Amino acid sequence: MPYAGRKLPFGPYWVSFGGLFTGLTEGTIRHEETPSGVPVRATVYGDSVIDEIYTGKNMFVTILFKEWNKAEVEGTLARTLDIYNPFDPLIGNSGLVGQSKWDTASTLLLTAVTGTPCQTDALPATRLYNNAIVASDTAILQEFGAVERNVPITFRILPDPVSSSVNDGKLTFFTDS
């Protein structure tokens, strides 16, 4: 289904971060684009916004990772800890403030599961976000109990400066193939 010149991927995808498989996920992978702008007001209309000047957009991807058995927890937990705590490997430690999150950015790759409509219907088989970081103010939930753990992580996708510079200054956030 084309949208703004692109076919929209749908269906199940495998997820890897920094080249490592992250384990199983549940539900949809949510891709969010948030445009931003500066409101234009005129004194005669008070606080009413009469226009808005576009100032860019931000992109986020939210994924629900699954942990439910010892092998899965040891594998997935180690990977999710690396993802959401890149400045210090110990749970509960913050790391030093003032570090650039760009330095922790890594690739987030979605790959269509073989044999599913998203892989067979000429839709993007892969979507590559080159510069993914954990979004600020993302609550990292750790569930303790006898049931499976659900670990939701929201990534902020930083634009690719190399692709953007050769694209007339328009920001490039991901590539489909």
Of the candidates 112, 157, 115, the one whose C-alpha atom is nearest the C-alpha of residue 10 is 112
Question: Domain coordinates of the chain in residue numbers?
Answer: 2-176
Q: What is the largest CA-CA distance in the chain?
A: 65
- The phi and psi torsions of 74 (rounded to 5 degrees) equal -65, -40
Give me the pLDDT at residue 40, please. 97
- Read off the pLDDT of residues 108-164 as tens digits, 9 standing for 90 and up: 999 988 887 777 776 678 899 999 998 988 877 777 777 777 888 899 999 987 766
Rounded CA-CA distance 138/121 in Å is: 34
Confidence of residue 42 (pLDDT cuts 50, 70, 90): very high
- Read off the pLDDT of residues 53-84 as tens digits, 9 standing for 90 and up: 999 999 999 998 877 666 655 655 556 666 77
Cα angle: 10, vertex 117, 9; to 5 degrees:
25
Q: Are 29 and 15 a contacting pair, CB within 8 Å? A: yes
